[in-house]
Structure 1
């Protein structure tokens, strides 16, 4: 218990003491990439019908921006909720191994609150980096139980850290805030993902609501309890937690440098498989376009006899044929493989509701056999491997492999590809001038004296 208490206090002290001079330039700039990429995903998510209906229900005026057409301004809580759902709905938000999505949970809260309290751009990005760091460390330290989905729980700590940083909480307030936020973590299930239940897209929104409520509790004098992080993430939701990983290298290494960006519009567990399919068909990069990685060969689908997909055992939860709905499509390896083989890419349009009755996709999914490779377990999390063999009816086969998907923390990523993704996701909702203006504001956020003026379009 003493080790956990010391770690909790060290995390709180890190948040209190973190300021721009302590953040290396590469960390600062990488955080901007993450923010811009995540905002692009939010804007794309604004087009989902259920998200649009949700936004219409949340109309209380304020200064916090919603990334929907017109960039309307609502109260802090509503903006955080709507933006969180928008981001989560697309399966294109960044993440870190193992395993979760810090920006999804931290950014909606940090941005909405930064605007509400009129923080500067530097204060906003510092709070985002602080919150990201704490979620990253919780993810790295805790081993969640197999059926627990990492939305709506791991992010509680990161989001409350961003809140405390923006509100200039003391170390003790941050300790109370983390302990209280841990006590509210949800036991969210993977089954919602594979079934395609879109309540799953609201898990991060629940984190946003919860931590903003915890803000009121802490500032009213409510207390958490010592050891909450260990109990919640190491016993209740998790099987174990390594307290040393919470603080090792704290302040000298930063989680944002270990992130991955997503270029396939599906669960990250499908990404090495999709890269392996592209490898089998001849990979082709399209600089300045999205999707940037596509196949150069398009097979005659009628010639395919079967498709063998070898993956890490952790990916077997996505081995099922998809249910007939868009969210389930994104959490099915057979569907992801089928749609890539048919279309040559895996952008958002390939996972829409209008493909539910596509006969080619229904048939191709049945040809996919997903095989767990237990001997690969030691390669995770530094590698995320996959091997795909496409066996044709004439006996020939095409084989492709991936040790890490493009955009992973182990690979080389460039800003041009991220900008192309951002522009593709926002093209239907923003003009070219608005796209460039929004991107540039994020890249120069330290020039913003009052985040309530963001975005100034």
Structure 2
């Protein structure tokens, strides 16, 4: 554990001191210092988020975005994982891959607070590692650093309401931290890059998810670009202030600072340990609702449903939109999630296809969903519960509940399930990718020492 020196009393100075301690630790961290289970977690996050990028390859808006970025791209130096062999400059590739990574809602997340730390690091790292000649080992070390810093910054500022979306407000910080680590910046340079990046964040409103504004999907891509540039600009002497994190998150965004979160347990309590992985292609706040619904599907004929009622946690109650206009809105609509899970018997990508938005039977079922409060709300990790009741055509009522969805540290998925999910996504567009990713998940020494550019060539052949 890192024991800090005596801390100043005001929150801004404590945030500055915390970042200094955090970046000293990060700059000194060697791959060999990372415990084996955390290395495995880093590889799993990398592979899972790469698969999430591939999953979005056929989204029409994303295809248009890629074509637009290609028109202004510089020399091709990094791969866009769209199944078409597209290569752009590292900044453009990071932007497109970052925008793809959250499109299907299959990326991993950080369970302790509202944060997807891997998503905020992986797109920039994929591009930078391929363009720079870094090895897979270098990439995983940098991801471990970036994930730790992004997770701790997320914990260091709290909000009582769902106002800001973390994809906009945190992605640039994760990208800057991880790219700083990959480029081997000093502790002082890394701190400056992070302070610079936080001034380049997007104040994305959380309600854009529920309302289905597709610009939300681009926020991680913008963050990847901004994080890369923050590192570039720091090395040119263009930086923020040491107090910039406090200026942005506490003063401008009105977050409550918790400076101790930047350093408490550093080197012992790894943020990667608190990550979760998704099997359902929708907001994680609704995964407990999906699991309760699947338990009902296993014992009741869903065609006899007359009404659906859910009691759930306060974040889940924000997912209230009975008429989602876009696929993003559907993934953040509790009504659509419950109705589609009942109809399809799963909450995979098919349940949120564009055609489901106007399907008459689903539209009718969405209107039959009511949402209430699960009270009292349990403590973490059961703080995202759901109790789902189906009222059947004969008046019978059947209920199932789930206190905590599978995939998090309290109910982890079996590694074989994550691998099956990944192979199910990548095998068709990239027949060679699955075997390469399996070796990466196994931390194959030869693969770790290979350049990431060569690994990408093999994966995409």
Give yes or no for contact 1:298–1:342 (8 Å, CA) kept in 2: no
CA distance in 2, matches of 1:82, 1:228: 27
- Confirm or deny that 1:398 pairs with 2:413: no
Give yes or no for contact 2:15–2:246 (8 Å, CA) kept in 1: yes
Within-5 A mapping of 1:333-344: 333-344=334-345
Deviation string 1:65-105 (CA, Å, 9 cap, x unpaired) is: 21111443321111111111111111111101211111111
RMSD, matched Cα: 1.8
- Give, in angstroms, the shift of residue 374 of structure 1: 5.0
DSSP-derived class of the 1:152 partner? helix
CA distance in 2, matches of 1:384, 1:272: 7
Deviation string 1:212-232 (CA, Å, 9 cap, x unpaired) is: 221221011123212211232
- Give, in angstroms, the shift of residue 165 of structure 1: 0.9
- Give, in angstroms, the shift of residue 394 of structure 1: 2.0
Give yes or no for contact 1:322–1:331 (8 Å, CA) kept in 2: no
Partner of 2:171: 155
DSSP-derived class of the 1:306 partner? strand
Partner of 2:5: none
CA distance in 2, matches of 1:42, 1:369: 34
Give yes or no for contact 1:15–1:161 (8 Å, CA) kept in 2: no
Partner of 1:166: 182
Partner of 2:80: 66
Partner of 1:212: 228
Partner of 1:316: 317
Partner of 1:299: 301
Partner of 1:436: 435
DSSP-derived class of the 2:255 partner? strand
- Confirm or deny that 1:254 pairs with 2:255: no
Partner of 1:117: 132
CA distance in 2, matches of 1:247, 1:186: 26
Partner of 1:75: 89
Deviation string 1:192-225 (CA, Å, 9 cap, x unpaired) is: 2112111111001111111122122101112321
Q: Normalised by the size of structure 1, how large is the TM-score?
A: 0.92
Give yes or no for contact 1:382–1:410 (8 Å, CA) kept in 2: no
- Confirm or deny that 1:192 pairs with 2:193: no
Q: Normalised by the size of structure 2, how large is the TM-score?
A: 0.91
CA distance in 2, matches of 1:129, 1:270: 28
Partner of 1:424: 424
CA distance in 2, matches of 1:55, 1:315: 33
Partner of 1:176: 192
DSSP-derived class of the 1:369 partner? strand
- Give, in angstroms, the shift of residue 380 of structure 1: 3.8
CA distance in 2, matches of 1:394, 1:19: 64
- Give, in angstroms, the shift of residue 343 of structure 1: 1.0
CA distance in 2, matches of 1:415, 1:238: 39
CA distance in 2, matches of 1:238, 1:15: 28
Within-5 A mapping of 1:131-150: 131-144=146-159, 145-150=161-166
DSSP-derived class of the 1:221 partner? coil
Deviation string 1:380-406 (CA, Å, 9 cap, x unpaired) is: 455421111112232311111111111
Partner of 2:110: 96
Where do 5+ consecutive residues of structure 2 fail to align?
A: 1-11
Aligned with 1:203 (options 212, 219, 224): 219
